Amino acid sequence: MRTARFRRTRRASAVAFVSAVTLTALAACGTSSSDNGGGSEGGGSSDPSAPLDPKTKVTLTIDCMPSAAKAAELKEWKEDVAEFNKTYPNVTIEGRSTPGQCLEPPRFTAMLKAKSQPDVFYTYFTDLPQVLDNDGAADISAYVTDKTVPLLKDIDPNVLGSLKQDGKLYGLPTSNYTMGLLVNRKLFKDAGLDPDAPPRTWDEVRAAAKKIAGLGNGIAGFGEYSAGNTGGWHFTAQMYSVGGEVVDASGKKAAFNNDLGKQVAKNLHAMRWEDDSMGKTQLLQWGDLQKQIATDKLGMFLAAPDDIAYMVQQLGAKYENFGMGPIPGAKNTLAGGNNYMIKKGISGDKIKAAVAWLNFKNLSVGKGQFAWARTKADGLPVGVPQPNFWLGESKTTDDAARVENATMPVANFKTFMDNPVAGKAEPPKAQEVYKVLDNVMSGLLTNKDADIDKLLATAETQVNQVLAHQ
């Protein structure tokens, strides 16, 4: 498993796998190549750094094609396949989709163990260890160059670093995120606060939360998770925000039972019990806080920017009601994202075709997922500040296109965008660590007499046990 997160998470729901769907009219002339581990199938160069020869004939299976329920996204996928085939007419893209979410954790793990993943398969940054443990992904370092991915130099090296191990590259990103402070602009105004200047320190968060909670009518000032591994996930984010760690640099020892860990815990406990600014309903997990803030019952919580699009599209909220600032404390913030990997053992031609497709679909400013004018025309959101893994001229161009085609007030996110905070990856054995830290969060938020020292010490012992079995 990876981080317990909504669209980025494989929800543990019973999802029937839909059989492969061929999305190009050229399926008849493209047949699956044998998984011969390298070489050329269609007369292309055997040099891995050379771009794909347009004459090369291969079929690629790719998962996480949008389902029929996502009509606009599926339309764009089909359009991109057709556009891609103008350059590479002999590459057949066979898209696979699952209703709702892409893959749930048990199925993903079973797929890796059975070596049944498609040629190009969707993963999350934190999946890399599991994929490599199962010998599932090809080392694509030699195939990814400034010739095959022309904007490679403009991709944030920290994002690419999440897809590397021992200097070898195993995937190409589709999106990234860093966490910040999501605010309800209406409640901020009602409480006499400036929604364009969200709190920048945890002391300011506490003061603002008290004012918002003072509005009454069951409104909470600040919300937190404490169940379903999301409590531990957010405890980690808060530790990062004050300059702390959850696991030490060796990856083998817990690092939160210290002054910074106690600072985070005491602040949350005080907000819950002394200030009564976090609401009485606790043991919340992902989805609960989104519903609260979307219905004007919550003033703020830690989130990634795409929560906003989710709340508008799924909960009927309005973009103009939300804003974002950087994570309070701003020492670091939790970062993550998703990507595609390429199955180990497939031919060199298939790897080249996969890199060519991923470059077109996900790594080209103005094309594929970054064709913002098309996104707007198709009624999909434009203006959410992330994913944005671009640097340099690419970032300037992409940011301008987002603003030009925005379907939401991008000024509401200016504080977040103008004050970037360095992102830190999730800890090793993240889900198991988060499960332990859920107990810390639930203890703080459900027990007025919680023994903070004991909660942290117990969690430290348990996390050390988790980390000892790697």
CATH number at residue 236: 3.40.190.10
Q: Which of 261-265, 303-307, 429-433 has the highest mean pLDDT?
A: 261-265
Cα dihedral: 200, 204, 205, 206 (round 10): 160
**In the block, which residue shows the tokens 């995120």?**
177
**Judging by DSSP bridges, how do beta strands 120-124 and 333-342 pair with one another?**
antiparallel
- pLDDT score of 43: 53
| End-to-end alpha carbon distance in the chain | 14
Q: In what order do the strands lie in the sheet with 180-184?
A: 220-222, 298-303, 180-184, 322-326
Contact assessment for residue 58 and residue 30, using Cβ atoms and an 8 Å cutoff: yes
Say yes or no to pLDDT of 181 above 60: yes
CA distances from 243 to 76, 226, 333, 436, 468 (A): 41, 22, 9, 21, 24
Read off the pLDDT of residues 10-25 as tens digits, 9 standing for 90 and up: 333 322 223 333 333 3
Mean pLDDT within 407-424: 92
Number of domains in the chain: 2
Q: How far apart are CA 26 and CA 12, in angstroms?
A: 36
pLDDT value at position 106? 75
Q: What percent of the chain stands above pLDDT 70?
A: 89
Q: Model confidence over 271-329: pLDDT tens digits?
A: 999 999 999 999 999 999 999 999 999 999 999 998 998 999 899 999 999 999 999 99
pTM for this structure? 0.81
Residue 456 within a domain: yes
Distance CA 332, CA 420 (A): 10
Q: How sure is the predictor about 69, in pLDDT bands with cuts at 50, 70 and 90?
A: confident
Q: For residue 391, is it within any domain?
A: no
**Is 240 contained in some domain?**
yes
Section 185-190 average pLDDT: 98
Banded model confidence at residue 108, pLDDT cuts 50, 70, 90: confident
User: Are residues 122 and 168 both part of a single domain?
Assistant: yes
Is 260 in the same domain as 351?
Answer: no
Residue 98 scores a pLDDT above 80: no
Residue type, 14: A
Asked if residue 182 lies in contact with residue 309, where contact means CB atoms within 8 angstroms, the answer is: no
Residue 42 included in any domain: yes
* Percent of the chain whose predicted confidence (pLDDT) is above 90: 79
Answer whether residue 447 is part of any domain: yes
Q: Which helix (H) or strand (E) holds 123?
A: strand 120-124
Three-state secondary structure along 155-220?
Answer: ECHHHHHCCEECCEECEEEEEEEECEEEEEHHHHHHCCCCCCCCCCCHHHHHHHHHHHHCCCCCCE
Which residue in 142, 138, 145 sits closest to 121, CA to CA? 138
Residue 204: what pLDDT?
98
* Domain region containing 430: 180-332+423-468
For the purposes of burial, counting CB atoms within 10 Å of the CB of 187, is it exposed (0-12), middle (13-18) or buried (19 or more)? buried
Residues 233, 107 share a domain: no
Measured CA to CA, the distance from residue 194 to residue 458 in angstroms comes to: 40
